Amino acid sequence: MEFELNETQSMVQRAARDFATRVIRPQAAEIDRSERFPREILAELAGLGLLAVNVPESLGGAGAGAVAYALAMQEISAVCASTAVAMAVTNMVGEVIATFGTDTQKVEHCPRLADGTHTVGAFALSETGAGSDPGGMVTTARDEGDAWVLDGSKQWITSAAYAGVFVVWARTASQAERPGTRGISCFLVPGGTPGLTVGKAEDKMGIRGSNTAPLAFDACRIPKAALLGDLHGGFKIAMMALDGGRIGISSQAIGIARACLEESLSYAKDRRAFDRPIADYQAIQWKLADMKTELDAANLLALRAAWLKERGLPFSREASMAKVFATEAANRIANHAVQIHGGYGYIREFAAERHLRDARVTTIYEGTSEIQRVVIARSLLSG
Ligand SMILES: Cc1cc2nc3c(=O)[nH]c(=O)nc-3n(C[C@H](O)[C@H](O)[C@H](O)COP(=O)(O)OP(=O)(O)OC[C@H]3O[C@@H](n4cnc5c(N)ncnc54)[C@H](O)[C@@H]3O)c2cc1C
């Protein structure tokens, strides 16, 4: 058993931490307050190789592996969860195309996702009536001989207004022909394709610098070569992408939680009540102890899942375990951070309130906590 990072992993972690502290941290509160999409920051992340950490070097990625990706996500999330989610989805899209794409698709999109030419990538699976249950989707892709024609809509699409390429899921067979998830295929749709419209951004509780918007497809024609993977094989692609994505969101939660702990430690040592630093009180100490213990447990779960993925071993259950634990722990930790900060935890002057708002979504997107528990229990019961 090996708990030490290798040279590449340490290097990626250091580069991400340095950039996060130096460049992102001073802007993070303003990005949240003004709901500013961090476009320039993402361009710099591309320059550091952080938009395609686990995409092969031959396709323009950093080829640094799944563990390095998890570490980089933690570092960016610890300062700005809004930037981190755009980074996470772009990495996920790059990996999906690198894994399932034809040579032409890989060469067309992976280097552009990695170097920032695409700005970011987007992942369009959810619909108004189909979130946890993608088999309920109603967006269709019709075969018109020389083209696929998409009709329908998508909901909650991260980075929708800025993405250079969307991975889009649509029905290629009716529910009667191929019920549920068996009639879904996956397509690559460049941003700006005629017939694709990005709707009004959602007004969210947290990750307010992230753009989340619906998509409308109205007779949107894409070439036959835009099919990603096998016809009707889209559900498998979505599930494989989400398994990896869950390591990313675990890492986002871990980053937020680490920031909460660091800020709480420093505040507890400075803040005095009844003539003593509040860190002297056992009530505060126990919170800090619980925060650190849960943080480390979350980290071990997430890095184990990343380690398995990197070695090509099954990691779906472990990714779900990491996600459910890390994201729920991050919510508990962020709540403790607000409590430790007292009244100052409730106002914008300190980051604790932003961390609590940002942590909240992590138990919802890329599969809710309930769905992670379904995945874990199914795998236990089928074993
Ligand atoms: C900020 C944000 C960004 C997002 N980004 C993206 C994106 O980029 N791309 C994308 O495709 N989607 C995205 N999503 C969508 C997200 O993945 C879904 O919101 C999520 O999967 C839940 O789906 P839903 O909202 O339809 O909830 P529902 O599926 O309607 O669930 C409602 C509740 O019922 C529970 N539930 C549902 N089924 C079961 C079950 N079988 N057992 C037990 N409980 C169950 C759920 O856990 C939840 O608590 C994003 C969402 C948000 C909020």
> What domains are there in the chain, each with its CATH number?
7-118 (1.10.540.10), 123-232 (2.40.110.10), 236-382 (1.20.140.10)
Ligand 1: which residue has its CA nearest to atom 48? 368
- How many A from CA of 27 to the centre of ligand 1? 30
Quote the CA–CA distance of 361 and 341 in Å, as a whole number.
22
Q: Which residue of 127, 132, 198 sits with most ligand 1 atoms within 8 Å of its CB, as the best mutation to test the pocket?
A: 132
Ligand 1: which residue has its CA nearest to atom 23? 131
- How many A from CA of 185 to the centre of ligand 1? 20
CB 184 within 8 A of CB 234: yes
Give residue ranges with CB within 6 A of ligand 1.
89, 123-126, 131-132, 156-158, 204, 212, 361, 364-368, 370-371, 374
| pLDDT values of the chain reduced to their tens digit, one per residue, 383 residues | 889 999 999 999 999 999 999 999 999 999 999 999 999 999 999 999 999 999 999 999 999 999 999 999 999 999 999 999 999 999 999 999 999 999 999 999 999 999 999 999 999 999 999 999 999 999 999 999 999 999 999 999 999 999 999 999 999 999 999 999 999 999 999 999 999 999 999 999 999 999 999 999 999 999 999 999 999 999 999 999 999 999 999 999 999 999 999 999 999 999 999 999 999 999 999 999 999 999 999 999 999 999 999 999 999 999 999 999 999 999 999 999 999 999 999 999 999 999 999 999 999 999 999 999 999 999 999 97
- How many A from CA of 328 to the centre of ligand 1? 15
Which structure tokens are listed for 147?
């083209």
Ligand 1: which residue has its CA nearest to atom 26? 131
Instruction: Give the gyration radius of the chain's Cα atoms.
Output: 21
Ligand 1: which residue has its CA nearest to atom 44? 370
Quote the CA–CA distance of 81 and 281 in Å, as a whole number.
31
Q: Which residue of 156, 165, 237, 243 sits with most ligand 1 atoms within 8 Å of its CB, as the best mutation to test the pocket?
A: 156
- How many A from CA of 292 to the centre of ligand 1? 29
Ligand 1: which residue has its CA nearest to atom 37? 132
Q: Would the pTM of this model clear 0.95, i.e. be above it?
A: yes
- Give the other-Cβ count within 10 Å of 133's Cβ: 12
CB 253 within 8 A of CB 326: yes
Q: In what helix (H) or strand (E) does residue 230 lie, and over which residues does it extend?
A: none
Return phi, psi of residue 58, to 5°: -65, -20
Instruction: Write out the catalytic residue numbers.
Output: 366
Check residue 2 and give its pLDDT: 84
pLDDT, tens only, 11-35 = 999 999 999 999 999 999 999 999 9
Check residue 1 and give its pLDDT: 80
- How many A from CA of 82 to the centre of ligand 1? 18
Q: Which residue of 328, 363, 365 sits with most ligand 1 atoms within 8 Å of its CB, as the best mutation to test the pocket?
A: 365
- Give the other-Cβ count within 10 Å of 280's Cβ: 14
Quote the CA–CA distance of 32 and 160 in Å, as a whole number.
18
The residue with tokens 């892709």 is 141
Check residue 295 and give its pLDDT: 98
Check residue 199 and give its pLDDT: 98
pLDDT, tens only, 318-361 = 999 999 999 999 999 999 999 999 999 999 999 999 999 999 99
Ligand 1 atom with minimal separation from the 371 CA: 47
Ligand 1 atom with minimal separation from the 207 CA: 1
CB 92 within 8 A of CB 241: yes
CB 20 within 8 A of CB 44: no
CB 89 within 8 A of CB 30: no
- How many A from CA of 131 to the centre of ligand 1? 4
The residue with tokens 């949240």 is 32
3, 9, 216, 298, 331 from 53: Cα distances, Å: 21, 10, 31, 21, 27
Check residue 379 and give its pLDDT: 97
User: Exposed, middle or buried, 221 (CB in 10 Å: 0-12/13-18/19+)?
Assistant: middle
SS3 185: strand
